Structure formats: C-alpha cells, structure tokens
Structure 1
Amino acid sequence: MGPTRKRDLTAGVASAAVVGYLLVVLLYRWFPPITVWTGLSLLAIAVAEAVWGRYVRAKIQAGEIGDGPGWLHPLAVARSVMVAKASAWVGAVVLGWWVGVLAFLLPRRSAMRVAGEDTTGTMVAAASALALVIAALWLQHCCKSPYDPTEHPEGGDN
C-alpha cells in the first residue's frame, strides 16, 4: 500500500464536481437551506486528524513506537494511515460535491435569492472538506517511518 496520490484525489474531486453539478441542476428546488453549519463537522474531523498527526509524528521522532507504557503501538500507526487514506477520499468526494454546488450557485446569486443565501454555507462546507483532505494527507505523512524507503529509494532518481 502506497501513499495516497494527489492526482487521484484531484480526479475524484473533478468527477464528484461534475456529478454534483448535474444533480444540483436537477434537484436544487428540493434542497434544504445550506447554512454555515452544514459542513463544519468535516472541519472538526480535520482538526482532530491534524492534532493526532502531530502526536503521532512526535512519538515516531522520539522513537516511542512499541508496546511499552506511554509508547504508541505500531498497529495504532497503521490504523491511523487507514483513517487518513479514507478521510482523504471522503474529503475529496465531498469537496467535489460542494464545488459542483458552488458552480451552480455562483452564476445564479443575483437572479435567485435562495442561491445567494446558500452560497456562504456552501463555501464554508467546501473549505471544511478541503481542510479534511489536507489534514488527512498530513496525518498520512506523519505516520511515515523516519527510514521510509519510499522517501529515498536506493539508486533511484528523486
């Protein structure tokens, strides 16, 4: 299992944005109001992952990985990588969705009152999803071993 590639996440964002835009075109009239609170749960998860990433990184740099008291178990690090990979993909798909919604709302803000009201909440939700992607990639980076062969391949070009 390798690190999550940014180009794959970008493709996920673009695909979700296209699908999201098409769905919003068809279904926007039935949407509930989009408030500033709509996407903030993703921001809370992003903050938690960033804080956990900092903790994991400190433990790895201090060499406190193992099964001793006060040490971080290697399985916790492996599980953190899995959480980071899953969060990056969830954040990318949700970011794509909100980008699609924004693509629908922004040109219609002056013509549709409700589009203008929904724009702020959509922008906050998109920013929260982006924060989740960044925090997930950070957590994944923090879980690397200081002697990770993928960082400095033997005899390979950098």
Structure 2
Amino acid sequence: MTKPTRLWDLVVLLLVATVATWLLVRVAYGSLPPIPLYAGASLYPVALVEVIAAFLIRARIDDRRIGTGPRELNPLTAAKAAALAKASALVGAASAGVWLGFLLFVLPQRRILRAAVEDFPGALVGLVAGLLLVAAALWLEHCCSTPEDPTKTGSAGPAQPSAG
C-alpha cells in the first residue's frame, strides 16, 4: 500500500498555486475574461462521488466483505479508489490555491473595480469547491485503508473458537 497523502504536501501546493496565481492576476487582470459564478463548480460533483464511494468502501471493509464476489469489495478497486483520492487531493489543493490567489487580488480591488465585485462570487465558489474536494479525497483515502489489526493494538476483539 502507498503512503497516505501528507497534509503538508497539500498545504505547500496550495501556497505555491496561491502565490503564482496572485502574481499572474496582478499582472494580467485587465485582460482576463469575467469569472462566471459557477466557474469552479465542476469539482462539487467529483467531491460528492468520492464521499459516496468512501462510505460504500468503508461499509464493505467494516463488514469484511472483501474479495472478488458480486457484493464484495475487490482489493484492486480499493487500490484504484485510493489512487483517485490521492490525485483528487492534489487537484483540489491546486485548484483551491488558484482561486485563493485570485480572491486575494480581487478582495482589495472590490472598492475600486466593478469587475472585481462581479468576479468575487465565482472565485469564492471555486475556492470552496477545491477545499471540499480535498476533504472528500482525504476521507476516501482514509476509508480505503485496512482497519487496524486487533492483535497489534492490544485490544481483545471477538473471541475465536479454539481448533482443538
């Protein structure tokens, strides 16, 4: 199994995307097209699908329905979902950084520029979408992990019948 996504990596990506976007927007804001209200909203359905997948995967793992049967969780499917979660967390962090950089430029300009007032809601929708995708992806990745082995944690767990 791969290592879990590190929160620090996501924070660094968000900060780099924020600074890069702020610099770009600062230089080229006048030539950018207006930001529609739902410009960043495409990430909302992805986050929703990942949350639903997380609950389905976690339920099958908790019920120990893992295998290749029709109502079981194929281990390869769990691995693919974990890979999707890692990629989505990175996309969400980068996207949130882009929208945050845009917002950091637009916020102080709202008193001066009418375009900044009109761009603010769309950028806010995008920022929230990016952050929700990160949260959904981290939840999915967590749900794809195998539960702790009771013998390793020292808890008793259910009694097993003896073989003899």
TM-score, normalised to structure 2, is 0.88
Aligned residues: 151
Which ranges in structure 2 are unaligned for 5 or more consecutive residues? Answer: 154-164
Q: Distance in 1 between matches of 2:94 and 2:148?
A: 32
Distance in 1 (alpha carbons) for counterparts of 2:34 and 2:51: 30
1:102 match: 103
Per-residue deviation at 1:133? 0.3
Deviations 1:22-65 (A, max 9, x none): 11112212222112211111011101101111110001101111
Q: Any unmatched runs of 5+ in structure 1? A: 153-158
1: CA distance between counterparts of 2:37 and 2:78? 34
Query: Partner of 1:49 in structure 2?
Result: 50
Aligned-residue CA RMSD in angstroms?
1.5
1:88 deviates by 0.2
**Poorly superposed stretches of 4+, deviation over 4 Å:** none
Q: Identical aligned pairs, as a percentage?
A: 43
Distance (whole Å) between structure 1 residues aligned to residue 135 and residue 31 of structure 2 = 32
SS in structure 2 of the partner of residue 40 of structure 1: coil
2: CA distance between counterparts of 1:122 and 1:26?
18
Task: Give the Cα separation in 2 of the matches to 1:137 and 1:75.
Answer: 19
| Post-superposition offset of 1:123 | 0.4
| Structure exhibiting the larger radius of gyration computed from Cα positions | 2
TM-score by length of 1: 0.91
